[in-house]
Amino acid sequence: MSPPADPATRNGSEGFSYSRQVKFYETDLAGVVHFSNYFRYMEEAEHALWQAAGLTVDRAGAELGYPRVSATFDYKRPLFFEDAFVILVRVHAQSKKTIQYTFTFTRGDTIIGAGSLTIASATRDFQSMRAVDVPPDVIPRLKAAAGQHDDA
C-alpha cells in the first residue's frame, strides 16, 4: 500500500492508488463520512486515473461524455474526519460501449469498503444519452496508467 502522503500514485503491481483525506463537510451527524460521499470519492479516483493516463472526461468541444450507468458500494467500516485513506482502482472493459471500474478503500490495514462504477461512452446530447463505442485508446491507456498488464 502506498503511503497517504502522495495524492495519486501508481501502485507497483496492479491498480491505481488515489489517496485522500476526509474533509469536515463530508461528515454527517453520526460523526462519520456520509455514505453518498463514497460515490464522489470513487469518481475522484476515476478522474485522477484519467489524468494519470493523460486523459480527461471533459474537454471543451468534446463530442463524448461519460454518464454513469450503475454505481454500487458496500460499507465495512466508517471513515472519520481527517482520516487518510487510499482508493485502489481497477479498470475492466465490460463491453464496447461501457467501462467498469472496481474500487477498494483502505485506511492503513483496515478495509473500509468496496464499490464499482459502470460508465457509458455517450454522445453529448444528454437528452437521449445515446451510447457509442468507447474510443479504442481509452481502456488501454487507463489500464497502463493503473499498471494492469492482465486482462482482468
Closest CA to 148 of 14, 1, 11, 8: 14
What's the alpha-carbon Rg for the chain, to the nearest Å? 16
Cα separation, 16 vs 11, in Å, equals 5
Comparison of 14 and 97: residue with beta carbon closer to a second copy: 97
Could you tell me the end-to-end alpha-carbon distance of the chain, in angstroms, rounded to an integer? 20
Min CB(7)–a second copy separation in Å: 6
Q: Interface mask (CB under 8 A) for a second copy, residues 37-66, using x and -?
A: x-xx--xx--x---x----xxx------x-
In the region spanning residues 12 to 41, those forming contacts with a second copy, defined by CB under 8 A, are: 23-25, 27-32, 34-37, 39-40
Choices 71-79, 92-100, 134-142, 143-151 (CB under 8 A): range interacting with a second copy: 71-79
For residue 101, which phi and psi values (nearest 5 degrees)?
-115, 145
Ramachandran region of residue 147, left (φ > 0), alpha (ψ -120 to 50) or beta? left
Residues that bind a second copy (CB under 8 A): 7, 23-25, 27-32, 34-37, 39-40, 43-44, 47, 51, 56-58, 65, 67-75, 77-78, 81-82, 126-127, 129
